[in-house]
């Protein structure tokens, strides 16, 4: 698991670093990727980046097993991409801010097809406006994010939600299509109140 990489004891780290370096060297040799320091890329990850569709990973980024990444994609420092995440930057790209977490099975596609009823689907034009995900965001398991969306800083997208429109900073969204159900900025006060109520009722 990617998070185990960052908690390895020195003896294990000394063994694992050359192994991880070989994985990253192989990627650099065949793909248009930039990889920051102390990153972890699972050997089962699938990363595809052509010269005009690069992938840039900041420092301490982790990419889990069976994740699929097709550029253009830029991941900021301390971003984690869990197993079986699928990301395709289309032409306009996907940008993910510092410290964001993308949970298992999320699907993020920065392109869409036309739906002209007079033409077959296989001949429809492909459009790409790009996707921007802010810093310190939690994208939960199984989330879908469609092209043209911006997700604000510190937001939370609940499990299985499908995001079809912009999400404000600090918002918690859920559902299909996703809608705002709360604010993450309120959660600290709520936890304090719950804790106080429990203490009072306990005597």
- With 0-12 / 13-18 / 19 or more C-beta atoms within 10 angstroms meaning exposed / middle / buried, residue 172 is buried
Q: Are β-strands 171-174 and 179-183 bridged in parallel, bridged antiparallel, or unpaired?
A: antiparallel
Marked catalytic residue, from 22, 28, 113, 165: 113
Residue 126: count of CB within 10 angstroms of its CB: 11
Angle at the Cα of 144 (from 141 to 147), degrees rounded to 5? 145
Residue 141: count of CB within 10 angstroms of its CB: 15
The backbone torsions φ and ψ at residue 128, rounded to the nearest 5 degrees and listed phi first, read -145, 120
> Rounded CA gap, 133 and 73, in Å?
11
The residues near 64 (Cβ < 8 Å, ≥ 6 apart) are 1, 2, 42, 45, 80, 81, 82, 83, 84, 85, 104
Q: Would the CA dihedral through 22, 75, 1, 47 be positive or negative? A: negative
154 catalytic per annotation: no
Positions marked catalytic: 113
């Amino acid at each position: 698991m990617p998070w185990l990489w960052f908690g390895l004891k020195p003896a294990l780290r000394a063994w694992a670093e050359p192994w991880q370096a070989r994985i990253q060297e192989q990627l650099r040799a065949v793909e248009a990727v930039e990889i920051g320091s102390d990153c972890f890329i699972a050997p089962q990850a699938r990363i595809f980046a052509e010269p005009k569709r690069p992938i840039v990973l900041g420092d301490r980024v982790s990419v889990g097993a069976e994740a699929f990444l097709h550029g253009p994609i830029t991941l900021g420092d301390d971003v984690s991409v869990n197993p079986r995440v699928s990301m395709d930057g289309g032409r306009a790209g996907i940008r993910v801010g510092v410290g964001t977490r993308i949970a298992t099975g999320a699907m993020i596609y920065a392109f869409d097809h036309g739906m002209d009823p007079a033409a077959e689907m296989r001949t429809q034009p492909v459009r790409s406006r790009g996707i921007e995900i802010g810093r310190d965001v939690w994208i939960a398991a199984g989330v879908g994010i469609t092209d043209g969306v911006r997700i604000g800083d510190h937001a939370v997208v609940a499990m299985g939600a499908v995001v079809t429109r912009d999400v404000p900073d600090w918002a918690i969204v859920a559902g299909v299509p996703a809608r705002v159900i709360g604010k993450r900025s309120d959660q600290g006060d709520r936890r304090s109140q719950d804790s106080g109520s429990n203490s009072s009722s306990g005597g």
